[in-house]
Structure 1
Amino acid sequence: MRFDDYRKQPLFWNGIAMALLTVAILPLLFLDTRTLLGVNVWIKPLKFSLSMGFYSLTTIWVLVRFLKDWKYQRQIQVALTITSLIEIVLITLQASRGEMSHFNVTTTWNQIVYSVMGTSISIFWVFHLWIVYRIFRKESIPPSVRESLVWGLTIAGFGMIIGFFMTSPRSEQLEAMKLGIFQTSGSHQFGSGDSGSGLFFFGWSTKIGDMRVPHFFGMHVMQIFVLFAAYLMNQRDSLTNQKLIRITGILFLLMNIVMVTQTLNGESVFNLNPIYTSIYGIFLLLIFVCFFRLISQPKKFHTQVTI
């Protein structure tokens, strides 16, 4: 595809804006030493700008390459762009104030910010699912390529919805609110005890359940399947390729569900629990087997006639 096909697309420029914001935030990590919950205040907007940037640039490739003739394509892009910009602007604003953007209900302003963010990401999720449906119904896409795109986008949608586990207020928080005490509503942590210092940069707990891990995993498995789709476009389509992609999609989705289950049980995904570790190991082994089977499939061939 030509660059001109992308430079007129709102979601493409959203991805570029996220990349520029990422570059702008990097010096602040060293110039601004303020911390929030033991982490530099600019880490969170940096993580979100990177995540949204990858999502935007991946999704725009899918839209331009496979849904260019869809009459609602531009409206979808505008909706995704606006909602993601609302999210990142509020996260960055709260970081500049030294305040939490998520779960923070300490003041009326913080409650409004949290509510607006929840609404915008819910709208974002609905439009994302619309793309999934449209790809699923697009019969002109080669079957194995369509299979890969549908699985990647669907698991990403599942990864997004995992976020609602975190936004639900806990029983003790509800009791405090009844007493007029407004501090936090929801949390990414599940389980009790010390959460530890957290994984470098990401901040994910390695001791107790942290829902950000399956949330991130689900959202960005999408990039793997989009790469599969790009690879399969240059391969001979076959029922075997479809089945391999389908099995890989099922394995990734089940792996994501197991992550959620482990987290809800109050245990970190990084904890070497023999049962969960064995399950992840089996899933990864089967995924690698499918991957190697996929790349070993016969390539497209062209018959040349010499006169």
Structure 2
Amino acid sequence: MALLAVVSAAGLALDDRVLVGAPIWAKPLKFSLSFVAYCLSLAWMLSLLPPRFRRAGWWAGTVVAAASATEMVLITTQVVRGRRSHFNHETPFDSGLYDAMAVTVVVLWTASLVLAVLLFRGTLADRATAWAVRLGAVLALAGAGLGFLMTRPAPGQRRGASPTVGAHSVGVPDGGPGMPLTGWSTTGGDLRIPHFVGMHALQLLPLLLLALLALAPRFAPLRDERVRLRLVLVASAAYAAVLALLTWGALRGEPLIRPGGATLTGAVLITALTGAAAWVALRRPGPTPPAPPAPSLVSAPAQRPRDVRPVA
């Protein structure tokens, strides 16, 4: 994926073709960078599994990597051909490639679900770390699952008859005015927004925990594992609420940069409740414990027992 990101960046610089209102190499660049973050996060999480689950985790991770690579080969093939990869049923060949991509997505999602189940069954380093990893995996699954909403026929489309079935945008055609870099619609709803936000909970919640651990030596309440666990749970609930709010807005055809009154009210309510819950979570339940060790991204190796000899 890292190599494909370099190739796609070169394509953006050298190939001036535009497809559905965006540079033709923008999609493989964004997908490859997203998969780099996604697969590195899963690889780290696999290192946290107890030994009895690592074999199953290895197989699930291998399936994720293979499915990701297969999807990117199909997307890049269509870029080289100058054809749309997603929602394309113009010719039997285009339709076959899109159907194959759909299969790889289902396989990838299922393998990620297996990893999430293993993370729930395993005993991780501490409760705060365990729940940051577990809830990040669950929210990522929810975000990935939201991608299936894009495959529904848009108004005026009909399965088996229309050359294009499905859309990123809601309320406006794909390819209209979009935000810089992301290309998200600025005139209507865009289901790519909750899809992106949900999938990257896999990185953001564990990063939040690492930030709490890094701040613990300076802020005494964060030294308590119970406080860190409560903050992780509060952040996860807030993340889920934001994901639901973004999905609701996108389905109503509402642009992200021009939210309506109901969406703004929901955002204010989520912010207020999250702030209040975080304040309650920071109240120390007992004596200040010692500062935790510096955060580490790898599991600690087992220590060798020292020889014990009787003293004469």
TM over 0.5: yes
CA contact (8 A) 1:190 1:265 kept: yes
The TM-score normalised by the length of structure 2 is 0.81
> Hey, what does 2:296 align to over in structure 1?
none
- Structure 1: runs of 5+ lacking an equivalent: 1-17, 303-307
Q: 1:50 aligns with which of 33, 44, 66?
A: 33
- 1:66 and 1:230 mapped to 2: Cα distance? 18
CA offsets per residue over residues 121-151 of structure 1, 9 Å max, x none? 1111111111111111223431111111111
Note closer, same or farther for the CA distance 1:55–1:300 as it changes in structure 2 (3 Å cut). Answer: farther
- 1:193 and 1:130 mapped to 2: Cα distance? 36
Q: 1:243 aligns with which of 230, 236, 249?
A: 230
Other structure's SS at 2:48 match: helix
Q: 1:280 aligns with which of 267, 278, 297?
A: 267
2:116 counterpart letter in structure 1: V
Matched, 1:183 2:163: yes
How much has 1:171 moved relative to structure 2? 5.6
Q: 1:170 aligns with which of 130, 134, 154?
A: 154
- 1:144 and 1:110 mapped to 2: Cα distance? 46
CA offsets per residue over residues 219-270 of structure 1, 9 Å max, x none? 1122111213445667645333222211211111111111111111111222
- 1:195 and 1:32 mapped to 2: Cα distance? 18
- 1:43 and 1:299 mapped to 2: Cα distance? 49
With 162-171 and 41-50 compared, the bigger mean Cα shift is at 162-171
> Hey, what does 1:228 align to over in structure 2?
208
How much has 1:170 moved relative to structure 2? 3.5
> Hey, what does 1:80 align to over in structure 2?
64
With 67-76 and 25-34 compared, the bigger mean Cα shift is at 67-76
- 1:290 and 1:232 mapped to 2: Cα distance? 16
The TM-score normalised by the length of structure 1 is 0.83
- Structure 2: runs of 5+ lacking an equivalent: 217-222, 293-312
Structure 2 matches for 1:204-219, cutoff 5 A? Answer: 204-219=184-199
Question: When the two structures are aligned, how many residues end up with a matched partner?
Answer: 281
Note closer, same or farther for the CA distance 1:40–1:125 as it changes in structure 2 (3 Å cut). Answer: same
Q: Which structure has the greater CA radius of gyration? A: 2
Q: 2:240 aligns with which of 253, 270, 278?
A: 253
CA RMSD of aligned residues (A): 2.6
Matched, 1:110 2:133: no
Matched, 1:301 2:295: no
